[in-house]
Amino acid sequence: MLKNLGEIAVRVFLASLVIILVNVVGGQFNYHLSMNIFNIGVVAGFGIPGLVAAILLKFFIG
């Protein structure tokens, strides 16, 4: 149980860092991906495909 919680915490932390990195790089192109629980959950759960999905949703929905 504790091992699973540790793994989840690490994935959430890394997902947050990846979103921050996307915002730093995207800031040069006037792009911002909001830091909310949905985006963090998608990136933490699905990894790189989840990040691509969150970016595409931002482009298509606005």
Domain boundaries, position 41: 2-61
Q: What is the pLDDT of residues 10-25, one digit of tens each?
A: 999 999 999 999 999 9
For 37, the enclosing helix (H) or strand (E) is helix 37-46
Positive/negative CA dihedral, 22, 52, 32, 43: negative
Q: How many domains does the chain have?
A: 1
The predicted structure's pLDDT at residue 62: 75
**Residue 14 to residue 44: CA distance in whole angstroms:** 7
| Per-residue DSSP letter, 28 | T
The predicted structure's pLDDT at residue 3: 82
**Residue 30 to residue 49: CA distance in whole angstroms:** 22
Helix, strand, coil share of the chain (percent; to 5): 80, 0, 20
